[in-house]
Amino acid sequence: MSATAGAAAEPGPLRGIAASRDPEATAPQRSLCYAAFSELTASPHDVEAQAAVRSRLAAAGALLPPAIVVLLEEFIAADPEELKAGYSGLFEVGSQGPPAPIREDLLTGQKAGTREDLVRFYDFFGYRLDERFAWAPDHLSVELEFMHFLCYHEASDSGERLSWQLAQADFAPRHLANWVPALAAGVERLAPGAFYSRVLAALADYVASDLAWQSSTIIEPQEATHG
C-alpha cells in the first residue's frame, strides 16, 4: 500500500519532545518495523508482499529486531496459498462476519467517527491511499503503514519534525493500542501458535513498548511551563 508525502502541520503550543529522543537513531528503525508489520498483516489476496519483504530484509534486515526478522523470514518461505488460506480463515470469512476482524471499525463495534477520524489524520498529513485500499482506511495494515509514513518523515523532515513526532504519539493510542491487543488475543484463541497469531502477538508487544517509549519522550505543556 503506497502513500505520498505532504506537509506536516504545526504542533500544539508548548508540547514538545525531549532531546534524548534522537530521531536520527530511532526513527529509521521504527519506520522499518512498522513497514514490516504492515506487510505481514496485509491481505495476501490483495498484496504480493513476499517479494517486498525479501527486498527489505536484504537491504535493511540488520536494522530490524531479531524477533521481527524471524517472522519475515517465515513469511518469505511460506507457501502463498497457505498464507491466503490462513489469512482468509481468520480475517475475511465467516457466516457472521470475520472470526477476527482485522479492521478497527469492525472489531471495536463500529463506533461513530472511527473511520472519519482516520481519514482526517491521513488527509492532514498528506497520506494518500492507493484506490484499491481507500474503502478500508481502518484496516490494520493501512494504519501500520501510516505509522511507518510518520516515522519516515520524522527521520527525513527536520523542519517539521515535531509535527511528525506528535502525530505518532496521538495516532498510536487512538488507533493501534486501543484495539490491537484485543485482536491479538482473539487470534490466539482461534489459532493458537499459528503464523498470524504469532505476528499479532509480536505486533501487540511492539505497539505497547513503542507507545511507552514515545510517551516517555513527550514534554507536556505543564512540564514546559513549570520545569
15: three-class secondary structure by DSSP:
coil
User: Under a CB-based contact definition with an 8 Å cutoff, are residues 165 and 154 in contact?
Assistant: yes
Give the mean pLDDT of the chain: 90
pLDDT at site 8: 42
Q: Name the least confident of 85-89, 176-180, 200-204, 218-222.
A: 218-222
Q: How many C-beta atoms surround the C-beta of residue 66 within 10 A?
A: 7
Residue range 206-221: mean pLDDT, rounded: 94
pLDDT at site 227: 44
The CATH architecture assigned to 17-226 reads Orthogonal Bundle (1.10)
Domain boundaries, the chain: 17-226
pLDDT at site 56: 86
The tens digit of pLDDT for each residue in 134-160 reads 889 999 999 999 999 999 999 999 899
Q: To the nearest 10°, the Cα dihedral for 137, 138, 139, 145? A: 70
For 30, the enclosing helix (H) or strand (E) is: helix 23-41
Q: Name the least confident of 16-25, 50-59, 89-98, 190-199.
A: 89-98
Cα separation, 97 vs 106, in Å, equals: 9
Cα separation, 8 vs 227, in Å, equals: 28
The tens digit of pLDDT for each residue in 114-128 reads 999 999 999 999 999
pLDDT above 70: residue 223: no
pLDDT above 70: residue 10: no
Residue range 164-178: mean pLDDT, rounded: 97
Cell digits of residue 169: 504519539
pLDDT at site 94: 66
2: three-class secondary structure by DSSP:
coil
